Amino acid sequence: MMSITDILYNGSMSRWQSDAQQRLAQAALTLYLERGFERTTVAEIAAHVGLTERTFFRHFSDKREVLFGSSNQLQALVVSAIMQAHKSATPIQAVAVGLEVLGELFAPRLEWSRQRQAVINQTPELQARELTKFNSLAHGIAEALQQRGINEFTASLSAEIGIVIFRAVFERYINPSNQKSWTHLLEESLEQVKTIMAGLNNRLPDVVGAKRRR
């Protein structure tokens, strides 16, 4: 069974020039915070660590991607947890198990996560990239659920609900005034979504039905 560190560890550490990648990512975050994303040029980032624009693009496909290196690891973690969830777990329970393990991922990097999120929240281009990462994560989760024998429709709906919940939990977890644990916030959000959907049963004096009957 893979441990968290197994999954997180980047196996292929080339011996020279150990961490151009890391240094570029750090410099990028710093500059994005100082000058803003749009007002910092890739050449600047590279120069700040003694490298060239061209080298930056050999490490990151994109000016945006430099902030999203960890999302692959995140996805691997969630998927792995979901596949190991108890066989009798329902789809939403499996997703919950997958999301719960992320608490251990963010706890140590709280301050970094806040800075990163501050930049993203100021930059539409980065928000768009974040959304595509979430979308990719949803697909990964849906796939994992299908391997648990769940049909595609249920799997993708469950996965996307998982993302909705993840985003809600993360936003509140990151908030400086938050006191609650990751797991606690997760349970609250799950419960809230369940409650919301139970609201489907409410009898209406017919407004929806009115159109349907036409």
Give the footprint of a second copy on this chain (CB under 8 A).
85-86, 88-93, 96-97, 100-101, 124, 127-129, 131-132, 135, 153-154, 156-158, 160-161, 164, 167-168, 183, 189-194, 196-200, 202, 204-208, 211-212
What letter represents residue 124's amino acid?
A: P
Tell me the closest approach of the beta carbon of residue 213 to DNA, in angstroms. 44
What residue 128 binds from a second copy, DNA, none (CB within 5 to 8 A, per partner kind)?
A: a second copy
d(CA 75, CA 65): 15
Shortest reach from residue 53's CB to DNA, in Å: 6
Using an 8 Å Cβ cutoff, are 195 and 165 in contact? no
The angle, 0 to 180 degrees and rounded to 10, between the axes of the packed helices 182-198 and 152-174 is: 130
Closest CB 74 distance from a second copy, rounded Å = 18
Q: For residues 193 and 26, what is the distance between their CA atoms, to the nearest angstrom?
A: 37
Q: Which does 212 bind (CB under 5 to 8 A by kind): DNA, a second copy, none?
A: a second copy
Nearer residue to DNA within complex by CB, 9 or 151: 9
Based on CB atoms, which residue is closest to DNA, 20 or 120?
A: 20
Buried b (16+ CB within 10 A) or exposed e, 14-43: eeeeeebbebbbbbbbebbeeeebeebebe
196 binds, options DNA, a second copy, none, Cβ within 5 to 8 A by partner type: a second copy
The residue with tokens 């690891």 is: 73
With left for phi above 0 and alpha for psi between -120 and 50, is residue 50 left, alpha or beta? left
The option from DNA, a second copy, none interacting with 109 (CB < 5 to 8 A, set by class) reads none
Q: Which residues of the chain form beta strands (DSSP E)?
A: none
Query: Which partner from the list a second copy, DNA, none does 169 bind, CB cut-off 5 to 8 Å by kind?
Result: none
The residues binding DNA (CB under 7 A) are 14-17, 20, 40-43, 46, 50-55, 57-59, 61-64
